[in-house]
Amino acid sequence: MTAPVRREAVERELGRARGARKMLPWAALTAIGGAAIGLAAGGGVKGAGALFALGLVFALFVWTIAVPRCPACGTRLPSGRTRLESCPGCRARFE
């Protein structure tokens, strides 16, 4: 039996993930917009590709942190609307 996890820690984690998820479309836009600007600024396809890759790395990073994880074991938590009572990975109770 794993020690219970404080609910505040879980809520904080869910809130953080939600915030990051809101940033995701913006991050994807940055990748496309950056490439478009690079192309328009005369950077050529190579320059645009580099900017796009940079934006893509940023978008991937945001996507990674947009996943809520159990504060105890790091298991991916379901981000549905239902109130989580325990971790599906380590069975730690959230209280």
Which residues are at the interface with Zn ion (CB under 5 A)?
A: 70, 72-73, 75, 87, 89-90, 92
- Considering the complex, what minimum distance in angstroms separates the CB of residue 3 from Zn ion? 11
CB nearer to Zn ion: pick between 54 and 90:
90
State which residue, 33 or 86, has the beta carbon closest to Zn ion. Answer: 86
The string of DSSP letters for 16-31 reads: HHHHHHHHHHHHHHHH
Q: Please list, in sequence order, all residues whose beta carbon lies within 8 angstroms of the beta carbon of residue 88, skipping any fewer than 6 positions away.
A: 75, 77, 78
β-partners of residue 51 are none
Q: Which is nearer to Zn ion, 45 or 79 (CB)?
A: 79
